[in-house]
Amino acid sequence: MIVTIELDNISFRAYHGCYDLENKVGNNFRVDLTVVADIGDAAQSDDVTAGVNYLLLYDLVEEQMKIISNTIENVGLRVVDEILNRFDQVLDAKVRICKLSPPLGGKAEKVCVVISRAR
């Protein structure tokens, strides 16, 4: 069985950015994750170990958000690559990372990047 798993609007405080102040003060981020996986008969058997565990996906994103990067593109790439490396059932992974109130010199709610990879 092919399923789509979505984790929406995950909030993090992180220190990504190319400016020294961003690395010291940090910023608020929102992450959306979409994973397409072949979970076999995990739904019929009601066996969480046969599917893709949502908690493990969340933990993976949190782990990558803690690694300071100059760009959120780098964070996104690490997230999708790590998902494909850790979960054999995953066919496609897409992450959207948004930096809220980015330091652009003007008013902007957020800046976002979307990174996706398929097996």
What residues are labeled active site? 99
| Contacting residues for 56 by C-beta, under 8 A, at least 6 apart | 86, 87
| Contacting residues for 3 by C-beta, under 8 A, at least 6 apart | 36, 37, 39, 43, 51
- What span, in angstroms and rounded, lies between the C-alpha atoms of 30 and 68? 16
Terminus-to-terminus CA distance in the chain, angstroms? 17
- What span, in angstroms and rounded, lies between the C-alpha atoms of 10 and 44? 29
